[in-house]
Amino acid sequence: MPGRRTVLVTGGAGFIGSAVVRHLVAGRRYRVVNVDALTYAGNLQSVAPVSGSPDYVFEHVDVADADAVARIFAEYRPDGVIHLAAESHVDRSIDGPDAFLRTNVVGTYTLLQAARAFLTDDPARRDAFRFLHVSTDEVFGSLGDTGHFTEATPYAPNSPYSATKAASDHLARAWHHTFGVPVVTTNCSNNYGPYQFPEKLVPVVILKALAGAPIPVYGTGANVRDWLYVDDHVRALVAAFERGTPGETYAIGGHNERTNLEVVRTICAVLDDLRPDDAPHARHVTFVADRPGHDARYAIDATKIGRDLGWVPEETFESGMRKTVEWYLAHSDWCAAVLDGSYRMERLGVASS
């Protein structure tokens, strides 16, 4: 495909990955190879808007399968990798850490080894090749009442999820410094937006409120997160992939610190406006026992990516949350499809510490 660079997007049927796929295919500058194992959180309906494009290919592959990953590198000869495939729900990592070790650690290792072998066989590609490793701010642990995570914050993961992501970050760094794989790493704050699997806070609140069911809030709802609209995150990832310096890390945040209770009340207020017949939706808020090891506060200082790559978020918390609620109201078919399986929005991660 002359004029098109080829990029592998791992986890491209998931929440953030599908947003990256839709963005890249719509831009018509890349041939996108979506590599996804289609676990419970992966759904091809999330990439249906671009699935008919000649710039899009889907490969049903587990990133921890070394033979399958090697075949993909050999067949498509990519110009880069945007690595998003991950188990990402803290509650699930409490109940079953094994899957997190396989995907987040072994899967990242497998991809890095495949990229290393590919570039060794074809060293002329090395200068233009990029391996974008997408990670989370949760690897840094919990903040106090003040301060922000930066690229220099020491790692202090507190959950099985964040521990496996921290391990994957260290692998990515080591494969760059030891083997010369041109790795760029990003650590983002909490994402929200369309196509998010309904186990995370925002879609849970929306769907529970619409159903008139209790809206669970952990503890007192005082835990603070920095909220990042998914399309803003995608633009940051593309900037890091295209212009980031190998060996560097970029912290990505939405500049929107909110307590969980504030998030819930904001969503309920938007629903009150859009579905006034069922107002007030906040009457369904129910406080439940906190989860084990729940980090108190996350917040990102995104100065570096703004200074070096010119990225700033476009959405405010209020505008992004309204777009998100409107999308879920308009896509009840997608919600029904992804919930037509083993998960029924029950609470996870209640194992004792």
Task: Catalytic residue, from 36, 59, 91, 137: name it.
Answer: 137
What are the two backbone dihedrals, phi and then psi, of residue 124, each rounded to the nearest 5 degrees?
-65, -20
Burial environment of residue 133 by CB neighbours within 10 A (0 to 12, 13 to 18, 19 or more): buried
From the list 161, 192, 195, 328, the catalytic residue is 161
pLDDT value at residue 342: 59
Task: Dig out the tokens for 296 from the structure.
Answer: 């108190």
pLDDT given at position 291: 76
What is the Cα–Cα distance from 209 to 216, expressed in whole angstroms?
10
Clarify whether 257 is annotated catalytic: no
Identify whether 272 is a catalytic site residue. Answer: no
Residue 318 appears among annotated catalytic residues: no
Topology of domain 5-191+228-255+297-314, CATH: Rossmann fold (3.40.50)
Total Cβ atoms within 10 A of residue 292: 15
User: DSSP secondary structure string, 163-225?
Assistant: HHHHHHHHHHHHHHHHH---EEEEEE-EEE-TT--TTSHHHHHHHHHHHT--EEEETTS--EE
Amino acid (one-letter) located at 238: V
Give the strand pairing for 183-188 and 130-136. parallel
Beta carbons of 270 and 205 less than 8 angstroms apart: no
Catalytic residue, chosen from 36, 91, 138, 199, is 138
**pTM for the whole thing?**
0.94
Residue 341: the pLDDT is 67
Burial state string for 8-30 with b = 16 or more CB within 10 A and e = fewer than 16: bbbbbbbbbbbbbbbbbbeeeeb
Q: Which of 39, 124, 33, 45 is nearest to 81 (CA)?
A: 33
pLDDT by 10s per residue, the chain, length 353: 456 899 999 999 999 999 999 999 999 999 999 999 999 888 999 999 999 999 999 999 999 999 999 999 999 999 999 999 999 878 889 889 999 999 999 999 999 999 999 999 989 899 999 999 999 999 999 999 999 999 999 999 999 999 999 999 999 999 999 999 999 999 999 999 999 988 789 999 999 999 999 999 989 999 999 999 999 999 999 999 999 999 999 999 999 999 999 999 999 999 999 999 999 999 999 999 877 878 789 999 999 999 999 999 999 999 999 999 999 999 998 888 878 765 665 656 565 44
Q: Taking the domains of the chain in order of start, what are their residue ranges?
A: 5-191+228-255+297-314
Q: Is the dihedral angle over the CA atoms 312, 317, 318, 321 positive or is it negative? A: positive
SS (H, E, C) 288-350: ECCCCCCCCECCECCHHHHHHHCCCCCCCHHHHHHHHHHHHHHCHHHHHHHCCCCCCCCCCCC
Prior bond to 97 cis, omega within 30? no
Spatial separation of the C-alpha atoms in residues 309 and 304, rounded to whole Å:
8
| pLDDT reported for residue 89 | 75
- Residues, the chain, total? 353
